[in-house]
Every structure is written in structure tokens, then in C-alpha cells.
A and B are shown apart, each in its own frame.
Chain A
Amino acid sequence: MNEFSRPWAGLDPLVHAPARLAILTVLSVVEEADFRYLLHATGLTKGNLSAHVGKLEGAGYLVVEKTFRGKIPLTICRLTPKGRDALEQYRQTMRRLLNVEDERGSNEGSRAVSGVVGAL
């Protein structure tokens, strides 16, 4: 099997999920953000966001720092260099994948992949 037979094989499943991709994309353009900001920015529920942040933290893509500001608990999330690399790798793979599909003239495939990207 080569790249042309399974072009999506290079996609990182940890990054590919829409919720996790949204979290990574938001964090990629900021220095750091807290849990509440991510809730507003991604539109996820607390439980959902917590689960996805946990997965990304487990993979070493995020650093989660639990602290206090006065008496208020503060959970700050920051993208690690590994997470930044994973997101960049994902973007490159996706771009290559879309190009391959275009070259093949497979409209159906392109539409499916574009649909995934559009949903993000």
C-alpha cells in the first residue's frame, strides 16, 4: 500500500476529531487560554471539553496548569511544541490529501474530505 491507495493513513486521529481540532486551532493562535475561554470559543459542553482536553494532555499536545486567582480556580491550557507540530503535520497531510483527490478527479472523495474540513 502506498500513499495514493490510503492517503488518509497519515492523519493523526487525535487531531482529526472536530472538537479536538477546534481546541488545538484556538490554542495555536494564542499564548494560553483558560477552560472558560475554550468553552466559549469552541461551543463545547464542560464535560465534552474536559474529556478532549484530557486526551490531548495525555498525548502531550497540551499542558494544563491548575492554579488559583485569588479564591477562583483557574485551569490554563497551553499548546506544547509537540502539539504545534502535530497540528502542522495534520494541515500538511490534509492539504496533500486534498491535492491527491483533485488530481484523481474523484469528486466524491474531494467532497467528502472538504465536508470534514468545512465542518471544522
Chain B
Amino acid sequence: MRTKTEQEIEHRIWRSWVEDGLPELVTGLGFFALAMVLWERGHAVGVWALALQYLQVGVILVLAFGARRLVQAAKWRVTYPRTGYVAYGRGGWRKREVWVAVAVGLVTVAGFAFVMAAESLSASASLMGLSAAMAAAFLYWAGRRGWERGFLYAVTAALAGPLAVMLSAGSVTARTFALQGGVHFVLIGVAQMAGGAWALFSYLRKYPLPLTPRRKSHE
């Protein structure tokens, strides 16, 4: 059983992970890349369309499993020299959250693939559903971890769906869904990159690089 102090420390560790904005910059870039793939799919036909569909799933998987390594590498250069290095515990809390994230990711990918396959489904309704699911996920993390920027992303995700649908209302083809999805993910990606860049700028201003002994001796 975890004490309140330990839970508070866990929250603080999670906040320190997102404080520098680097995770959002990477995931924002990922969403942007996904949007580009979708946009391409909306225009491509035949074999290319199928190949790009696989690429799209690949991008989602890289985003889900590879982003952490990329963020960690960036943190070794930017964050850890300033506020210190910390590695998450191997305890149940992290494992649980990772499994929840993986499950949500897989359900999203499966839903997405299903919509791509079944053109009879209303593209607009599906996109609205995806938009609502993403907004709910951002709201969950924002509320659970006290992550203020998460609320901004939740609002962006909630608005991105209806906005993308408005661009080509009434269409039911998978191609239209891909184009609308592209608009949807571009908006979320740009919001995350902007939020991440702002957070990184604030972080760098708040925590300047400490003086090394050699630099100190020259003063």
C-alpha cells in the first residue's frame, strides 16, 4: 500500500518528466507525421494506398513504443544536467499505467483500421468518436497528474474532430476520412509542439545550466 507522501512523490516525478516539454515535442512531431501519412493516403490510390496504410500503423507503433527512447536521449542533453536524472520505479504503478496506455493504443489502432476497412461507416461519426476519445485521454492525464497543458490538448482534441468534419461534411468514404483525420492530427500535433516548445523555453529560463568547476575557476 502506498502512502500519500509516496503518491505525491510519484506525481512529482511524472510532472518532472513532462516539465521540460520534450515529450510533447516528440509526440507532437509524431502526430504531425501521422497527419502527413493520412494526407498522402487521402490522395494516393491502389498499391500505394495499402502500403501507406501499413506505414500509418508503423508510425503509430513507433509513437507508442519508440518515443520514450527519443525523449530520454534528448533529456540527457537538456534536462538532466539542469534538474537531475531520475529513472522511474519498476513497481506496479508504472507497469499498470503502461498496460492501460498500450491497451488504449491498441483499441484505437484497431478502431482506426476497422473504419479504414469499412467504408460504409460514417467517416464523420468515426472521427468525432476518435476526437472525443483523445480528448478524454488527455483530460484523464491532466486531471490525474495535475498536468495543466493536458487540458489545452484535451480542448484541442475535442475541437479538432468537429473542425475536420466541417471541412467535408456528408462524405462517407475512407478517403475522406483519411483527409479529415489528417486535419485532425495536424491540429493536435501543432498544439502539442507549440505547448512543448513553450514549456521547454520556460524550463530553460527557469533552470539555467549550473556552472561546472572549470567554469567557476575562471571567474
Interface residues of A (CB under 8 A from B): 25-26, 28-41, 69, 72, 74, 76, 91, 120
By the criterion CB–CB under 8 Å, are B85 and A34 in contact?
yes
By the criterion CB–CB under 8 Å, are B76 and A33 in contact?
no
Residues of B near A25 (CB, < 8 A) are: 5-6, 9
Given contact pairs A29-B10, A36-B83, A72-B81, a sample of 14 additional A-B residue pairs in the complex whose CB atoms are under 8 Å apart: A25-B9, A29-B9, A30-B88, A30-B89, A33-B85, A34-B86, A36-B80, A36-B85, A37-B83, A37-B84, A37-B86, A41-B9, A41-B86, A76-B85
Residues of A near B84 (CB, < 8 A) are: 33-41
By the criterion CB–CB under 8 Å, are A31 and B89 in contact?
yes
- A36 CA / B75 CA spacing, docked (Å): 14
- Which of A29, A39, A40, A41 neighbours the largest number of chain B CB atoms within 10 Å of its CB? A29
Tell me, yes or no, whether B68 is within 8 Å of chain A by CB. Answer: no
- A76 CA / B13 CA spacing, docked (Å): 16
Residues of B near A41 (CB, < 8 A) are: 9, 12, 84, 86
By the criterion CB–CB under 8 Å, are A31 and B6 in contact?
no
Residues of A near B6 (CB, < 8 A) are: 25, 28-29
Tell me, yes or no, whether B211 is within 8 Å of chain A by CB. Answer: no
By the criterion CB–CB under 8 Å, are A29 and B80 in contact?
no
Tell me, yes or no, whether B208 is within 8 Å of chain A by CB. Answer: no
User: Closest A-chain residue to B1, C-beta based?
Assistant: A91
Residues of A near B81 (CB, < 8 A) are: 36, 72
Residues of A near B82 (CB, < 8 A) are: 36
User: Closest B-chain residue to A71, C-beta based?
Assistant: B212
Q: Pick the contact of B85: A28, A37, A91, A120 (CB < 8 A).
A: A37
Q: How far is the CB of B192 from chain A (nearest CB, A)?
A: 25
Q: How far is the CB of A102 from chain B (nearest CB, A)?
A: 18
Residues of B near A30 (CB, < 8 A) are: 13, 86-89
By the criterion CB–CB under 8 Å, are B90 and A31 in contact?
yes
User: Closest B-chain residue to A95, C-beta based?
Assistant: B3
By the criterion CB–CB under 8 Å, are B85 and A29 in contact?
no
- Which of A35, A40, A120 neighbours the largest number of chain B CB atoms within 10 Å of its CB? A40
Nearest 6 A-B pairs (CB), nearest first? Answer: A37-B84, A36-B84, A31-B87, A34-B85, A33-B86, A37-B86
User: Closest B-chain residue to A32, C-beta based?
Assistant: B87
- A41 CA / B10 CA spacing, docked (Å): 11
Tell me, yes or no, whether B46 is within 8 Å of chain A by CB. Answer: no
- A74 CA / B80 CA spacing, docked (Å): 10
- A26 CA / B85 CA spacing, docked (Å): 13
By the criterion CB–CB under 8 Å, are A29 and B13 in contact?
yes
User: Closest A-chain residue to B82, C-beta based?
Assistant: A36
Residues of B near A35 (CB, < 8 A) are: 84
